[in-house]
A and B are shown apart, each in its own frame.
Chain A
Amino acid sequence: MNVVSLSLKIFFRELKSGQLLLMFLSLTLAVGIVASITLFTDRLDRSLIAESQVFLGGDLKFETSDAIEESNIPNFEGQFAKIYEFGSVVSNSDNFQLAAIKSVEEPYPIAGQLEIINENSEVETFTSPPNPGEIWIDGRLAGLLDISIGDQVDLGATSLIYIGTIFSEADRGTGSFAFAPKAIMNSADLESTQLIRSGSRVRYTYLFTASKEDIDKLEQYFQNIKRPGDDILIPQNEDTPLGRAIDRASNFFLLGALLAIILSSLAIAISSLQFTRRHTEYVAIFKALGFQPKEIRITYLLIFTFVAIFSILFGIAAGWFVQLSFLSLLKEYFPANLPLPGLNPYFISIVTAFTCLLGFAYPMLRNLFELSPNTILRKTANKTGNFLSIVYSLSGLLAFYFLIVFFIRDFYITNIIFFSILAFALFIFGFIYLIFSFIKPLGLNPLKTFKMIAFELSRRKLFNSLQIVSITVAIALSLIAYSSSTNIISSWERSLPEKAPNNFIFNLFEDEKENLKDFLESRDIELLPIYPVTSARFFRIGEGEDIDRTFNFTWMEDLPEGNKIVSGEWFNQSSDGVSISIEIAERYNLKLNDEIEIDVAGKRISSFIQSIREVNWENFSPNFFAIGNTDDFSDLSPTYITSFHVPENKKIVTTELIKQFPTSSVISLENLIQEIQSIISKVSQALTLILGLTLLAALFLMLATIQESYKQREKQNAILKTLGLSRTIMQKNTFLEYLTIGLFAGGLGGLLALIATYLIETFVFEIDPTVYWEILLLGILSAVVIIGIISAIFTFYLSTKTPKDVFSKVT
């Protein structure tokens, strides 16, 4: 018999044995999780790269916050499109929604086409902008506004007819507004909206299609005029902001998946240990029958390779379905038809499978290869090793470390994650292990339930501790995700001061300031300071990193509320410096008295850092990274921003305000919170999927540990039965033992989630934290229910065996 057919035969027969099946299921789960995430992000990435010209909308895209002088653009053979992008409120009767507006003119699009759903629900393709007076709106925005095709929507000072729903569009992958609901209008209507005036926040996009030489020439030109905050994008350059965002999301989810992979790997390690133990007998027979050591090695390596191959196949198939759920969950944010994935997700899944096996199963397997042929006569020659031996632990830790590096490709972050998880796991594990070491009573008295539970917990303290740690972590993470999407946001909402501003108005022009004051005064609404705002660029004078972004810049005489000077001095009459926030000072290493130049609307002003401020960003008043002295900037023509509190009984004021100031943008906190909640809910649903799989991995690990003690329990129960112990007492003892494990894991998991939620509220949201006792209760309940069900099945199965069944088994 050749070793391939022998190993195939053993593989299929042994799948029924439990250990190999559990190993296969655990590995399939690990591969499935990794495959689902990588398949999903790869498809997004590929749609970005494969359709990059269409995605970009041309062969070159230049994005800037200041309109460029078009006559200076070098001559080229090809097409050129100009797009205005800005945020504004779109409204229909009483519905208002902040949207990303894209204003386009002929020729547009210059690469790809637009797919628009018409009133007959048919997809029509367009290679031109909407007609003047018409607007295309994406499905999400239409849903939020509750409008149908043919309805009129108001945008700034004009009204447009909603004529079609955006199904797919060229140059979709635009930067900052990519996730906001979108509308496309004709630039011919732009003037009548009165939304674009000097100082307005507009992003100008210039698209070009041309020959390679001309594109190179254009790129060179834009490189020369490019200023901080501007972007030059060409299809070959994969490093787009959206590409980076996908990479970051992929890393984040893979890290979430890492826990499930670790739990699965531990289950694989325990199953391999059991498999190895069982197969010492096989190998002893093989050796007695004259198998060469090499043949035995190949046979078993092949068996594990089959486990890997089948796990990879089933895991990838499962991963495919999970990524489809991700897609349907997040479909509003991504293109409708994503391209098929490339080879990378399969490569990552395969490497994950083999790393898990090499790190967690192979060390156990090696024991088999080193088995003496004499084991057949002397069972004492059989050494399967200790689960916590240095070799096993080291190889497992190495595999774990390799996987983190492989997923995120950064040694620094890998070290932080690796050692944090290790320290945390060792702490919890050590804590439980110590408790179990101290509670061991003398002797096992099955008639005293608690004594017996203590004895059993203590006897199997290694695997029990492992079991508790894994379930604790899985439950804690699920509870944190649950709590984040429910408790934390509402608690943050509640924590806002009663009269905190709940509406912002921006894009307000000079001539509207007085009207706004009158409007709010007449409705008895307190007006907070109105700040001028414009976009500014900073240039460092002297050595140092470029300041590669633009700032919302304002000027004022008095230090605003919620700001505290931490270094330097606030402005006096004669000063001509600027005040920056501590975040900007740290990010760009700007120190007091550092000289800078400020470019505001083309005007270059020499200045210096006069003070550094600590800003309370959560006070819902307009806050600024950079502030100048009024005297230095009073001749500019900015737009204005302010905030105000609209009480619950005067909600209509917001609607009236938008009608009265159609070219301004109003953001209501309520809408903002709804949007945040919607995003958090979608992301936590996607996370819940992964955490659900983590819980499944924890259950597989539990099954592996149950299997580990099964034979011993079976024999013990048989002996106790022959000594006259009733089946009911036996069932009760085993059930309560597992329930204790559930109580431990649920209690600890709940406690961890409770502490984590408390810390998140304190340090992330910076609100007065609440202790959610119900999380603790939920943790205990869920663990007790899940483990209760499993242990009930296990207990029942165990107690059906008669002593005769057990003793007649040849071991």
Chain B
Amino acid sequence: MSQNIFSDDLLSYIDEWKDKPGNLIMVLHRVQSEIGYISREAADEVSRLLDVPLSTIWGVVTFYHFFKLTKPGKYNIQVCLGTACYLKGGDMIVEELEKLKGLKVDGLTDDGLFSLQAVRCVGCCGLAPVMTIGGEVFGKVTKDQIPGILDKFS
């Protein structure tokens, strides 16, 4: 019944990895990069294709921060709260996003445009505080810049 939720590309990737030991995390990465998160249907499908119990898949998905269980917005905002960003006021960005868009950590805006994640270090500490939107990195962010940055995405 759920044959159509994965693309042919993804199916052939899974086929290629099917018999390799330690394939589960690699397959889940590919699933998430295609559909944005690990939905219940997707987990069922991975379970069927790899012949791995659903409980094992759920155990792995919930253990690792990178895997998401809810659908992200069109643009996913990541605010870095690693040590350098924390000291330089990364939580200010979180507060400002809530003020401007009513967006909470792990939440989604009503229009489905933005979702927000707090992450630990995106690896450009020299630019602290840092946020990323849809993979684009914004460094040395100040409160005044945030509305302008958000306006670029619609």
Whether A and B are associated in the same complex: the answer reads: no
Write the residues of chain B forming the contact surface with A, with a CB cutoff of 8 angstroms. none
Write the residues of chain A forming the contact surface with B, with a CB cutoff of 8 angstroms. none
